Amino acid sequence: MALTYGTIWGDFGDEKVTGTTKLHPFGTRMVLPDSRVFYYGQTDGAQTAGAICQSAVGVANHDMDLATNTASVGDKSVTVTVGGTAATEDQYAEGYLYINDGTGQGHNYKIRQHDAIDSSGSGAINLMDGDTIAVAFEAATIAGLAKNPYKDFIVFPTTATGHAVGVAPTDFDDDDYGWLQTWGPAAVLCDVAFVIGNAVRVSDNTAGSGEPLDRDASNENDVVIGTASLIAPVSTDYGYVNLTINP
């Protein structure tokens, strides 16, 4: 393998390697010789090959409107006060602190590390080297915490609680590290037969599966993962989809 600016140039078969040891930062990108693209993450729950996966569900007492300290330009640490749910140590490591309202709003910062934070308690969120506060906070500045989208990914539920992060190219055990495919041809679990040449969306009937997108139907706004490219599969089979989730 070779690594260039966060991208690994992999060999065929590398995408099927899973394990209990973390080998890369979350979100590391791997491109195979045929241009299929994969991103590195960790699963929360077992996954089967061909299942569509979603980012972890946000925590209501962590995801926005958290009081902050009056951080100054150049600071590498921000103190936040969470709601009535404790945060475990490094729950948001490699994730993001974003400013949702007040002075500095609209900025997004990469998290390096944080200690455990008690329910309704305060704690320091330490930013990644090179990322510092760009606009000074004021008393009214409030923030949210977001996990790295590839940390603790889950089977895509029938009602979205996050965004699509890829399709499992192999089976995962709970808490395994490995790769999710986001771009190029892939076998995808089918709920309703795909239509060749038409968009495929996540299913609202069977978790982790796909079905055709009908832009005149009630599900026209559901997440699109790609385009059906071969003969229509039947339900519970796996259809061939050209993924367009993340290049």
Say yes or no to pLDDT of 218 above 90. no
For residue 221, what pLDDT is reported?
Answer: 78
Look-up of token digits 């239509």:
195
- Checking if the pLDDT of 168 tops 70, the result is yes
Mean pLDDT of the chain: 95
* pLDDT for residue 2 is more than 90: no
Could you tell me the pLDDT band of residue 1, with boundaries at 50, 70 and 90? Answer: low
Report the pLDDT value the prediction gives residue 223, as an integer from 0 to 100: 86
E-assigned strand segments in 14-155:
29-31, 37-43, 52-54, 66-68, 77-81, 96-101, 108-114, 122-127, 142-146, 151-155
pLDDT confidence of residue 216: 72
Q: What confidence score (pLDDT) does residue 215 get?
A: 79
Q: Where are the beta strands (DSSP E) in 121-194?
A: 122-127, 142-146, 151-155, 164-167, 177-189
Q: Is the pLDDT of residue 214 over 90?
A: no
Element (H or E) spanning 92, and its range? none
Tokens of 66: 């958290």
- The pLDDT tens digits of the residues spanning 234-243 come to 999 999 999 9
Residue 174: exposure state from Cβ atoms within 10 A (0-12, 13-18, ≥19): exposed
Question: Considering only CA atoms, which of 36, 56, 48 is closest in space to residue 226?
Answer: 36
Phi, psi of 107 (to 5 degrees): -85, 150
Helices (H) and strands (E) in the chain, counts: 0, 18
Give the 3-state secondary structure of residue 136. coil
Asked whether the predicted pLDDT for residue 206 surpasses 80, the reply is yes
Q: How many Cβ atoms are within 10 Å of 13's Cβ, its own excluded?
A: 9
Q: How far is CA 225 from CA 29, 151, 153, 166, 222, in A?
A: 18, 20, 16, 8, 10
**CA distance linking residue 10 with residue 31, whole number of Å:** 6
90-131 per-position pLDDT tens digit: 999 999 999 999 999 999 999 999 999 999 999 999 999 999
> What pLDDT is recorded for position 5?
67
Give residue 115's pLDDT: 98
